[in-house]
Amino acid sequence: MLTRAAGLVAAFLAGLALVVAAVLVVRHLTAPSEPELPVVPEARRPVVESAVRTCTPLSVPLLAAQIDAESGWRPDADSGHAQGISQFSPVTWKEWGQDGDGDGRANIWEPRDAIPSQARYMCHLYEVVKVVPGGKTTSGATRLALAAYNAGPNAVLRARGIPKILETQDYVDKILKDLLPKYQESEEKYQQSEAKHTSSASASPSVSSSTSPSADPSATASGASPSATRRP
C-alpha cells in the first residue's frame, strides 16, 4: 500500500514538474524580447573612429546615427539627389569630397572617402551655425549642424534656426531622439566588451619560446535617406 502511495506521489510530482516547465517555456517564448541595438559595422569602425577625431563635437555614436539615418550604412545608396553612404549631393561633394583611402581620387561611393568628408563637412557646419541662436551650446549646435547637413547651411542661416521643412525636422529628430540614444548604448557596451578583452589579454602570462635563462627576450610570443538634398 505504501509503495503504491509513494508511486502516486512520485507520478504527481513528475507531472507537476512537467507543467511548471511548460509554463516557463511558454512564458519565455511569449515574453517581449528586448529590441536589438544598432551597431557600427565592423568594416566601418576604423574609418568612423578616425573621422570623429576631426573636431571635438563629433563622436562615434553621433556620426554612426547620422550615417544610419542617411543611408542605413549602404555605400550604394542613391536618393536621386544625394549619393553614397554619407549622402552627398554632387555639388556639395565637389566642394567637400576628399580622398580618404589614398588611392588618389575622391569617390563619393567609397566609404573611406565619404565618411571622413562627412566629418569635415559637419565640423564646418558646427562653425557656421555658431551665429544662429542656440548655436553656441553643444546640443543646440548639433541640432543646427544636422539641419544644415540636410537642408543646406543657407536654409538654417535664413531661418535663424531649424527651417520649417518637415523632412529636415524629422531628420534631426530621428537622429537625436531615436538613433543616437541607441548608438550611445551600443557603443558603451562595445567599449566595455573591448575593455574586458584587453584586461583579460593583459592578465594572461606571456609564453616564452625558450626555457633557457639566456633566451633572447625578443623571442617571447607576442551601413538611403531620400531627404538628403544637400542644398549648398
Contact 193, 205 (CB under 8 A): no
Contact 28, 177 (CB under 8 A): no
Phi, psi angles (nearest 5°) of residue 53: -80, 0
Which of 10-24, 80-94, 141-155, 208-222 is predicted least confidently? 208-222
Is the confidence at residue 113, as pLDDT, over 80? yes
Cα–Cα distance, 170 to 138 (Å, whole number): 20
Those residues with Cβ within 8 angstroms of residue 168's Cβ, 6 or more apart along the chain or in another chain? 147, 150, 151, 155, 162, 227
Return the top range by mean pLDDT from 26-30, 115-119, 204-208.
115-119
Contact 225, 83 (CB under 8 A): no
* pLDDT (mean) for 92-99: 98
Contact 152, 231 (CB under 8 A): yes
The string of pLDDT tens digits covering residues 145-203 is 999 999 999 999 999 999 999 999 999 999 999 999 999 999 999 999 999 888 877 77
Is the confidence at residue 227, as pLDDT, over 80? no
Task: Tell me how far the alpha carbon of residue 203 is from its chain's centroid.
Answer: 30
Contact 225, 170 (CB under 8 A): no
Is the confidence at residue 26, as pLDDT, over 60? no
Q: What is the mean pLDDT of the chain?
A: 84
Tell me the three cell numbers of residue 213: 635563462
Is the confidence at residue 36, as pLDDT, over 70? yes
The string of pLDDT tens digits covering residues 55-64 is 999 999 999 9
Is the confidence at residue 9, as pLDDT, over 80? no
- Please give the full DSSP string across 80-95, using - where no structure is assigned: SS-BTTTTB-HHHHHH
The string of pLDDT tens digits covering residues 213-226 is 343 433 333 345 54
50, 54, 55, 60: CA torsion to nearest 10: -30
- Please give the full DSSP string across 51-84, using - where no structure is assigned: HGGGSTT--HHHHHHHHHHHHTT-TT-B-SS-BT
Q: Which amino acid is at 45?
A: R
Question: In 10 A of CB 178, how many CB atoms?
Answer: 13
Cα–Cα distance, 209 to 218 (Å, whole number): 9
Q: What is the pLDDT of residue 81?
A: 93
Is the confidence at residue 22, as pLDDT, over 60? no
Q: Which residues pair with 78 in a beta bridge?
A: 83
Q: What is the pLDDT of residue 211?
A: 41
Cα–Cα distance, 64 to 35 (Å, whole number): 18
